[in-house]
Amino acid sequence: MTLTGAAALGAKPTEDLLAAGAFDVSRGLAYERVDLPGPLDKNKLPPRDFLVFLPTKIFLAPAAKRALPAGKSVISVPLTGSAAVADGATRFAAQAMGLNPVLLLDEIVAGGTAAERTSSEVVQHVPFVDYRVTVDLGRAFTRVRGPFARTERVAIRHELTALGPGHSVVHVAVRIDGAGFVRGLHATIPGSNLGRLALDLHGYGRTFAPSYPTGAQVVSLASLAGAWSWSPHWPWILGG
């Protein structure tokens, strides 16, 4: 994935950031690495946040470990209960799901109302067709299903609020290969401050072995709010 102008992550308007992940919808599990602006380390790698998506929570391992309490390295963001509706939690959940291609795919399935063919080409003997898909987010909000549906509704509600009353339609550019698989998505997610998203999808059917943090490593997002919620990039960039 390439994000252009992801202000939520501290990027400049024309700055590109990269992200990559693995997504197993059947298990309700996803993993993602997100590059952040900043100097490269000794291995020529940028600062990076890491995400693990589960049906009831999202784990964030931020690049700025020094900003966390002693012994903590992972932030837990709840998707259920009273803590899930706090402003910081809903904003983060909406932005995090914006980085998860399952959101756009499910919005298309649940809320797609039209598709217009825009172009086609053959790349290394593989045919591709591009479409401009019209999505009604209001329709998607009521129809999304599956293990990520709870978080998707948080994200879609955030998008609808950003669009304003009476507006619910967005467009997604979709690339399909000759076998019918979605290979590319281009979109801007309203209200996310993630900029323009360009996603390349591949490796359908693969799985991965998850690695979860221990309880001793985890701190709740709510416990950090007083110290860090002033930052427009919180909790992606904590400082320190």
- 189: tokens are 């997610």
Above 70 in pLDDT, residue 239? no
Convert the pLDDT of each residue in 60-91 to its tens digit: 999 988 778 899 999 999 988 887 777 778 88
Q: What is the mean pLDDT of residues 37-63?
A: 94
- 63: tokens are 């690049």
Is 19 contained in some domain? yes
Range of the domain at 97: 2-228
- Give the CATH number for residue 47: 2.50.20
Residues 6+ apart with CB under 8 A from 112: 133, 134, 135, 136
pLDDT at 240: 45
Is 94 contained in some domain? yes
Is 160 contained in some domain? yes
Is 239 contained in some domain? no
Is 26 contained in some domain? yes
pLDDT band at 118 (very low <50, low <70, confident <90, very high): very high
**Residues 199-228: b if buried by 16+ CB within 10 A, e if exposed:** bebeeeeeeeeeeeeeeeebeebbebbeeb
Convert the pLDDT of each residue in 196-211 to its tens digit: 999 999 998 888 888 8
Is 233 contained in some domain? no
Above 50 in pLDDT, residue 3? yes
pLDDT at 210: 81
Residue of 114, 152, 164 whose CA lies nearest to 136: 114
Above 90 in pLDDT, residue 27? no
Is 67 contained in some domain? yes
pLDDT band at 174 (very low <50, low <70, confident <90, very high): very high
Is 234 contained in some domain? no
| pTM to 2 decimal places | 0.92
Lowest mean pLDDT: which of 11-20, 33-42, 64-73, 163-172? 64-73
**Number of structural domains, the chain?**
1
pLDDT at 14: 97
> 221 and 75 in contact (C-beta within 8 Å)?
yes
- Give dist(CA 179, CA 217) in Å, integer: 43
Relative to beta strand 2-4, strand 196-200 is antiparallel
